[in-house]
Chains A and B, each alone.
Chain A
Amino acid sequence: MSFVEVNDVAVSYENFPVLQHVNLEVAEGAFVTIVGSSGCGKSTFLRLLLSQEEPTAGSIRIAGVHLPPRPTPDRGIVFQRYSVFPHLTVTDNLILPLEFEHSAVFGRLFGSARQKLREQVETILQRIGLTDARHRYPAQLSGGMQQRLAIAQALLKRPRLLLLDEPFGALDPGIRRDMHELLLGLWQETGMTVFMVTHDIAEAFKLGTRLIVFDKMRHDPGNSSAAGATITYDLPLRRPTTFVDEFARTSISAAATLDASVSILSKDALTTPGVEQ
């Protein structure tokens, strides 16, 4: 049984189909990157996995259980913007989930209990390089720092599924590379399953163990509402670190390089679930 099972899911807004016939099975621990043109429903798909929206038809199960109607702590989320709380300092953003857990009514701890939580998140601050910025508010952080904080915050509840909606879309290329390393490291340590929507194809190939492409099944210039989007390509990729490392470490022959590229793009690796029959 797969960890995430998406069964013939469709979403439409007032008879305007956004997604149709989406079928997907994802094993636990996979890093799924999702690409597609703007407005093709890839973010909608992510919102479905989060229970931020409900499918109009079909079903989604995670670990064999149907999705609850609202977001829950077993699914973490990082948005491109507004992911951290502007009124809390870096440290307070990190202890917030712990405060929710320990103070059922007010969600707020005081004095020594609060101090203890602050010490607990010290190692996390170090890991994301925000130790010196711990007393700053998000508006005083750079974009990359904000997203590091957002990722760390999303992981505090140890979700089995991490959802990322274009998390690095607003960052500089250099910062982006650092974020990739951080994210891959965390993914390997935790063994969580990741779904990441991105506009950047290179990023999708670099990070994912599997790449899925959303696109409209029929392109009808006269009637754009004729059909919603679905998964048109589903490419299994090799684990990104080994793939990249191999290139760097061993001088592979040209034939081997070609071989590797072919295995990624070969016809048997391509499955187009929506239009198969």
Chain B
Amino acid sequence: MNAAKSRISPWARLSLGVLPFLLLVLAYAVGSHVRRAANPADKLLPSLDTMAQTFWRMATEPDQRSGDLLLWSDTAVSLARLGSGILISASIAVGVGVLIGYLPRARAMLAPFVAAISLIPPITILPILFIVFGLGELSKVMLIVVGTAPIMTRSLAQAVMDIPDEQIIKAETLGANGIQMVIRVVLPQIWPKLFTAIRLGLVPAWIFLISAEAIASTGGLGYRIFLVRRYLAMDVILPYVAWITLLAYTLDRIFYLLSRRLFRWAHLEGESL
């Protein structure tokens, strides 16, 4: 039997998928046990039990100083920044992407510019953003925009250019004017690509979010883990990292499933991740 093409049952698929996670947890538990056996006060690899307790406390008990449920207030603040940034990036990507992809003149003017902007390491812009927009929310959202808008714009411009010429010609012979063409032929076909661009944009977006929060912030997931780093509080940091990962994964799945549901036509052929 050819292993490359062999079919697997759903049950086997699930077990195989869970296995690496279990191994990771197991390896951690063993490491933690060994270290704590040598030194019961070890802070580096706290027990799974300790981490669960700390996480539960942060989710359910109000913080003594602020009175907030820290996990939820941090999550809300971070997701608001991430959401605003991605929303602005997506709007820019659609607007500029369609211009570049659809109009040769706009392409000639904007494509090299967007390509150049996309090569600036966004973190180098951060000091400028702090100086211009202050240390508030705006500079953090702008960092996400600077970091994600150019690549999302490029992928949407490419999506527009990938629409076969035949379709544009055909629409013209069916009586479409320029605006109708964009609204009925071009935009509907790039929505699935926008969802893909958002999913790919979320990866750097999280990096920039956490970075900005680590450098100057008074709340948020990134702020918290860099704050408690001073106390070597691995029992907070590790669950937070897992929580951020879970949030990122959930967001990715939401956009994937939404795309499948809203744009069924785009998911009819082939398997997609």
* Number of A-B residue pairs at CB separation under 8 A: 92
* B173 contacts across to A, CB distance below 8 A: 50, 71-73, 75-77, 154, 157, 159
Known: A105-B179, A108-B184, A137-B264. A71 touches B189 (CB 8 A): no
Which of these binds chain A: B10-18, B39-47, B162-170?
B162-170
Q: Does B172 contact A (CB under 8 A)?
A: yes
B188 contacts the other chain (Cβ, under 8 Å)? Answer: yes
- Which A residues between 35 and 92 are near B, CB-CB below 8 angstroms? 50, 52, 70-73, 75-77, 79, 81-88
- Of B138-146, B211-219, B227-235, B265-273, the one touching chain A: B265-273
The residue in A82, A86, A107 that gathers the most chain B C-beta atoms within 10 A of its C-beta is A107
A96 contacts chain B at the CB level, 8 A cutoff? yes
B172 x A156 contact (CB < 8 A): no
Given contacts A87-B265, A139-B268, contact A96 B166 (CB under 8 A): no
Whether A73 touches B179, Cβ cut-off 8 Å, given contacts A85-B185, A86-B189, is no
* B interface, size bucket: 20 to 34
Bound: A222/B73 CA distance, A: 77
Known contacts: A87-B189, A101-B175. The answer to whether A79 contacts B170 by CB under 8 A is: yes
B5 smallest CB distance to A (angstroms) = 23
Chain A 138-159 interface 0/1 with B at a Cβ cutoff of 8 Å (1 = within): 1110000000000001101101
Within the complex, which residue of A101, A103, A137, A156 is in contact with B268, where a contact is CB–CB below 8 Å? Answer: A137
In whole Å, how far is A154's beta carbon from the nearest beta carbon of chain B? 7
Q: Are B169 and A87 in contact (CB under 8 A)?
A: no
A105-B184 Cα distance, complex, nearest whole Å? 11
Q: Interface residues of A: mostly helix, strand, loop or mixed?
A: loop
Q: Report how far A154 CA is from B175 CA in the complex, Å.
A: 11
Give the chain B neighbours of A105 by CB distance below 8 A. 179-180
Bound-state Cα–Cα, A87 to B186, Å: 10
Interface assignment of A106: CB less than 8 Å from any CB of chain B: yes
Residue B174 at the chain A interface, CB threshold 8 Å? yes
Q: CB-nearest residue of chain A relative to B268?
A: A139
- With A137-B268, A139-B268: A50-B180 Cβ-Cβ less than 8 Å: no
For the complex, what is the distance from the CA of A138 to the CA of B171, rounded to whole Å?
16
B191 (CB) vs chain A CBs: closest residue: A87
The verdict on B242 contacting chain A, using a C-beta distance below 8 Å, is no
Residues on the B chain within 8 Å of A79, using CB: 166, 170
Q: Which residues of chain A from 93 to 119 have a CB within 8 Å of any chain B CB?
A: 96-97, 99-101, 103-108
Does residue B131 face the partner (Cβ distance < 8 Å to A)? no
A residues near B184, Cβ cutoff 8 Å: 96, 99-100, 106-108
| A47 to B: closest C-beta gap in Å | 9
Contact present for B268 and A140 (CB under 8 Å)? yes
- Give the residues in chain A near B164, CB-CB below 8 Å: 81-82
In angstroms, Cα B266 to Cα A38, docked, is 33
B166:A106 contact, CB within 8 angstroms: no
Q: Which of A82, A99, A100 contacts B166 (CB 8 A)?
A: A82
Chain B positions within 8 Å of A140 at CB level: 268
Cβ of B183 within 8 Å of any chain A Cβ, yes or no, is yes
8 A-B pairs with CB atoms under 8 Å apart are A84-B170, A85-B185, A96-B174, A96-B184, A106-B179, A106-B180, A156-B174, A157-B175
A residues apposed to B, CB below 8 Å: 50, 52, 70-73, 75-77, 79, 81-88, 96-97, 99-101, 103-108, 137-140, 153-154, 156-157, 159
Q: Which 8 A-B pairs have the closest CB atoms?
A: A107-B180, A82-B164, A97-B174, A82-B166, A71-B172, A137-B265, A139-B268, A73-B175
